[in-house]
Structure 1
Amino acid sequence: MSDKTAGRRLVAWTSLSLDGYTSGPQGPEHDTWLYEHATQEQTLAYFESIWRGADTALLGRTNYEGFFSVWPGITRDPATDDRTRALGQWLDSVEKVVFSRTLTDTKWENSRVSDDLEGTVRALKAALGRDILAINSASIIQALLRAGLVDDLRVAVVPTIVGGGLRLFTDDLPESKWHLAETTTLAHGAVGLHYRA
């Protein structure tokens, strides 16, 4: 968990299929493999070790709208387990920056829209705070990688081949070198990889 200091680290977090996709050919609403992975107890514990260190979340419009459509209800459901509720409470309370050229307003508390990804992220990194977490938005993570703004890559590789869809690591990304900081093997066969620039 990072201290509250200026010069914050930007952590990009996502889950990938074994063949390198963040969602399959039919889109995220059909990604049962991703849902099954995300709801595993070990996945929740692993992701908790990441989000607890952050006080700003970066999202693309699609993920923002998808998260907002389900998380407030999950958080307030009495049947929700404590760990999932804690994540929902964090999502409610954390500063959320949504990058979009079409979205003009946000309804989720503590959220705002920006159409200037590089400028906004550079200002956030220079400000006082803890980690900045880019959550599972492939287009946002790609743009941050192109701009050289990612300090940590946190990738969970799920043992599923989906055969197409949305790739995280596309051919137009610039060359970069990363150093392995940690690996975590989860009980259902996924592997958490933590790389640092």
Structure 2
Amino acid sequence: MKVNFLWLSMVTLFLLTSLSATVAQTGTIKGSIVDGTTGEPLIGASVLVEGTTSGAAADLDGNFVINGMSPGTYSLRATYIAYRPLVIREVKVEAGKETELQIAMETDEVTLDEVEVVARANRESENILLLEQKKTLVATQAVGARELSRKGIGNAEAAVAQVSGISKQDGVKNVFVRGLGDRYNATLLNGFPIPSEDPEYKNIALEFFG
């Protein structure tokens, strides 16, 4: 019994001695990772020793520890979402010692190209036409393509006749606004004025529009 106990004690002592020797032959890299502007800890930021599989993540206080590093000189790479990756070079590790680092990272400002969004109103919609009439400073009336289609109207002459205040003479393609002379007429196509071919009137023959 005494022999077994003595043998177990010797094994335990041997293991402890070996472990102490191993620890004494390696070093530790420790430190903190913070925002370079505010100084706030970057929780979860990762630090990787380049060329190895060793690394660590920052805790709630921004601190990290990498144990078991063989003596030598290393490069560390720190990364964090929305921050520029940072490489710390010439990090020296000595056996049995701790190398402490203070890492400050800068935000990665991404510049986006200008994006122009253009919205065009559906001028065939009766609701849009009514809304435009309400906004205008003068009295207006419009007839949309959907309304014309619903009423079975397929030409400009019949369409204009649907607008209140418009008169049309029989046998003549021209139209007149009741109460106004023809000199006040103006015809636009896609926003551009169309000159009249009639030397006496400013009207445009509606057959021009098909």
TM-score, structure 2 length as denominator?
Answer: 0.20
Of Structure 1 and Structure 2, the greater helix share is in 1
**Larger RCO, structures 1/2 (Cα 8 Å, 6+ apart):** 1
